[in-house]
Amino acid sequence: MQPCSEPYAHWLFTAAHGDQLRVVPERGGLVTGWVSGGHELLYLDQERFLNPAKSVRGGIPVLFPICGNLPGSPLPQHGFARDLPWQLELLEAPEGMGGAPEGVRISLRDCAATREMYPHAFGLELDYRLLPGELAITARISHPEGSPVAAALPFSFGLHPYFAVQDLAAVQLEGLPERCFDHIPMAEAATAEQVARLASGVDFLAHPQGAVRLVDPQAVGAGRWIALETQAPLDLAVVWSEPPRPMLCLEPWTAPRGAMATGDRLLQVPPGETLELRCSYKTGMG
């Protein structure tokens, strides 16, 4: 793992098979780059990235302890995790397996600033494991003994990856259910109609029963696909586009917007316990 200073202080991890991750722990633990097979898969708005007063448009922001907004709450949109500095370390191969490191681990703990918005002690770890053509992600949310609030730790969790695409109008999405929830009018909608509007801007949530594939037929070479594979309870999928940006977000969430208020799919971790969440992105050509 190599430290780099341009365009922002970041670390570059190169796996034995050649794929790479670029991580900026000080900027919300942000993964700013994922190179697979020699191709960069992530979109990043450099101007916003370099301005700490603005939310990032690009990379893989972390959503915690809420996904979306929560009216009447001091918590910012998508929570505070994407705005705080994280700790970074190498992710070594499993004990007894030997071999080279497999990725990186970033971690975040509660502090005075988080407790003003969210009065809970917590630990959040994210393992990004680079396999050939795959980014496997494990999140661990712990609730330490002695928390200032004795009740279970309530939260939602998600990831917000921005995938670079050549032309939104040509992008295809496979594996989504027939119906979804449109976040713009906050109403149920036909998924096919939403997918047909990617180039106009969409923001919808779905509950797929298997992998969701983003197919970019105009990507360099013979086209590229990226598949999101989820495990419950991290098994909702949000699709978001913001034209004219050449990107599409395919995001795993544990709960819909407002879960902290409604209780809908809200996760809770009792004191002294840890909850593990998993998902992965696989990619290939053709």
Q: What is the residue-wise DSSP string for 207-222?
A: --SS-EEEEETTSTTT
Domains of the chain: residue spans and CATH = 2-285 (2.70.98.10)
């050549």: which residue's tokens? 166
Q: Tell me, what's the pLDDT at 85?
A: 94
Q: Tell me, what's the pLDDT at 5?
A: 60
Q: Find residue 158's DSSP bridge partners.
A: 63, 253
CB 157 within 8 A of CB 259: no
Q: Tell me, what's the pLDDT at 142?
A: 98
Burial of 262 (0-12, 13-18, 19+ CB in 10 A): exposed
Question: What single letter denotes the amino acid at residue 115?
Answer: R
Residue 81 backbone dihedrals phi, psi, to 5 degrees: -60, -35
Q: Tell me, what's the pLDDT at 97?
A: 62
Is residue 273 helix, strand or coil?
strand
pTM, whole model, 2 decimals?
Answer: 0.95
- Report residues of the chain scoring pLDDT below 50: none
Q: Tell me, what's the pLDDT at 223?
A: 84
